[in-house]
Structure 1
Amino acid sequence: MFRSIGDTVDAVDVLAQGDNIDDTDEPQIMDNIESLCMACHEQGNTRLLLTRIPFFREVVLMSFECPHCFFKNCEIQSASEIQERGCTYTLKLAAKEDFDRQVVKSETCVCRVPELDLEIPAQRGQLTTVEGLLSTVLEDLDGDQSKRLAADPEAHAQIATFIARGRDVLAGNALPITLVVDDPSGNSWIEPKPGDARGKWTSKHYERTALQNEGLGLTDADAGTREARERAGEDEDYEIRPDEVHTFPATCPSCVRPCSTHMKLVEIPHFKEVVIMSTVCDSCGYKSNEVKTGGAVPAQGRIITLRVEDAEDLARDILKSETCGMTCPELNLDLTPGTLGGRFTTIEGLLTQVHDELHQRIFSGADDETSDSIEKDTREKWEVFFQGLRDAKDGKRTFTCILDDPLAASYVQNLCAPDPDPQLTIVDVDRTKEQEEELGILDMVTEGYEEAEEQRVKAEKEEKAKEQSEKEGVASEAR
């Protein structure tokens, strides 16, 4: 049902050129549906195209046109389920050609350009380019400038200055700038390019908050409190024991039906205790697993460097936390923090997971139609990259694995423990200010919070007493 855009165009050309083709044998290119126009309330026409975007996933393109009032609208919706995690994509625009990259913006996505102090709120879905996204914003603002001039000249002048800055950026001046796409549903995307410099295009996946799940319709406002009471069973002395697998009710992020999450506390030798969590949904077959580390926030971050030389090194246990970034320079592999979530596996298992997930995303399951739509030069670069990963996980080449974790919550097995391992280097480093801000460490209050809480409660009581006194005074005057 979902063909690549290139194959769809080829099919349209065949239908246009072939006079003797039987339409009943040819699959329909687009679905045409008669729809109500919300502008004039007459009948218009909606066209639907099911397609697959290379490097991303299946989407539905929709276009509406009314022949009576000539109202037009276009939109994009994801054809897949809400993803397990939210996503944030960041692209640094340093040259004019960067504006040609594709952008998929779902209806729950927020886009930001910090240098322009611009934030595009969640609205209708779009399949566009970076240039198209910014141009649409500038055109929308410019369209109402005449009304602003009459109603608020000061706002008109400020917006005129912003539009001029935006057009200057689109012309290739005032660069570099940064585009950030943040989508709690995980269904938005910025196109990557092979050979991008490190840090030019980055992706990060994160756990949604209770408020974001509520906004996506996955839970109701009281679900978290209700489930917490059910799990606790009103027993404040509930204890997690290392020798037991604990099970508690949860909600499937795929089909939103009740499912079970299993949790076990595991002691990693020469490291710390971690919590392994697994979720299985009997309704839709959804499965996921994750590792959480506990304990206090350490004073420093940690960089672990492992030289992988043989099959024995590939079998080493590895714990990659959610906050850990991984780099393998010889393989041109760079995983930003948040990618794959927390994982407790082996070096070989981690490389296999990276290969399988990335290969499926790039080539959409090695489908011939999608593969043919990828440029030959681009496809060859990706194949070289994937072949390097396969050789590494098969033990055919040596490489270096570098784990950079600002919370020091990652671990690589030391085969010589408790003695030092000559192939393993562990260095504790100070966190940067940006890392501490991103992790929320700067906002943590570890001392004097009891007094602050008491003062807050006292202030609330005084405010309520003041309001009550004012109400009583008004009632007395009325009498």
Structure 2
Amino acid sequence: MFLSFSFSILISSIACFLRACFVLNVYAIHCLFAKSLLNRRFYFLIGMEDTLEGQVCPMCRKKSATLMERAIEIPYFGKVFIFGIMCSSCGYRASDVECESSKGPVKFTFEVEGKDDLNVRVVRSSSGIIKIPRVGSLEPGVNAEGFVSNIEGVILRFKKQIEHLRDQAEDKSERKKAKNLLKKLDAVLRGEEKLKIVVEDPSGNSAIISEKAKRGK
């Protein structure tokens, strides 16, 4: 697939190693927060953001990492925690989204039929995959980012990746294919074309929040 970053072509042992590294890095974010907050009074308000500077980076081990945690209440979905880390020394950064309660494996399918649908909320954790048939997919993995956005924001993420591939492509046919995909997505953003978006997540921490979204497993 044009935008697929599937790890199926990797040797299984390497894939397992990368997944393990990602889990450890996300776990490190939680541990760093817990350790830093252990000896201080901490009041966390819904919708407010708390940051901790001068923390140990899980990659370079320097005390140059900034941690971020934020909790938001999403209507019809519940409380969501957003975690992030960014190191000013080595440039390492990661983010993830976690629901307050476990929801089990999920699959959401949504049909974008007009400009109003662009405002529909989308929650994507690092273990979630977002697919747009005949366009591409945002795959989970070591470098995957969790985020809370909307349909428009998701489409813009796809556009950014297609533009990058277009600029890097040496073959004229690949550049033409990228240009056609960009035209299609621009038409969707103008409300002139329909588009199907699918979100799947084995952890249950991703969702398309709309009554129009069809939910499966």
Name 1:97's counterpart in structure 2: none
Within the candidate set 102, 125, 129, 1:321 is matched to 125
Supply the distance in 2 between the matched residues of 1:254 and 1:352 (Cα, whole angstroms).
32
Within the candidate set 209, 218, 241, 2:24 is matched to 209
The 5 Å alignment of 1:30-429 reads: 89-91=7-9, 112=11, 184=18, 207=22, 209=24, 227=32, 231-234=36-39, 240-242=44-46, 244-249=48-53, 250=55, 251=57, 258-279=64-85, 290-298=95-103, 300-329=104-133, 331-338=134-141, 340-360=144-164, 362-363=165-166, 366=167, 370-371=168-169, 374-414=170-210, 421=211, 423-427=212-216, 429=217
Supply the distance in 2 between the matched residues of 1:261 and 1:247 (Cα, whole angstroms).
5
Supply the distance in 2 between the matched residues of 1:359 and 1:183 (Cα, whole angstroms).
30
Supply the distance in 2 between the matched residues of 1:266 and 1:232 (Cα, whole angstroms).
20
Seen in structure 2, the aligned counterparts of structure 1 residues 228 and 400 have a Cα distance that, compared at 3 Å, is closer
Q: Which structure has the bigger radius of gyration?
A: 1
Q: List structure 1 segments (4+ residues) > 4 angstroms apart after TM superposition.
A: 180-184, 227-230, 252-257, 278-284, 286-289
SS at match of 2:173: helix
Preserved CA contact (<8 Å) 2:87 2:93: no
Deviations 1:191-242 (A, max 9, x none): xxxxxxxxxxxxx8973625xx9xxxxxxxxxx98x567512436x855432
Corresponding residue pairs, total:
208
Identity %: 15
Provide the TM-score with structure 1 as the length reference.
0.37
Seen in structure 2, the aligned counterparts of structure 1 residues 357 and 380 have a Cα distance that, compared at 3 Å, is closer
Preserved CA contact (<8 Å) 2:82 2:95: yes
Q: Which amino acid aligns with 1:323?
A: S
Q: Which amino acid aligns with 1:231?
A: S
The Cα RMSD (Å) is 3.8
Provide the TM-score with structure 2 as the length reference.
0.73
Deviations 1:100-137 (A, max 9, x none): xxxxxxxxxxx63x6xxxx6xxxxxxxxxxxxxxxxxx
Alpha-carbon offset, residue 248 of structure 1: 1.8
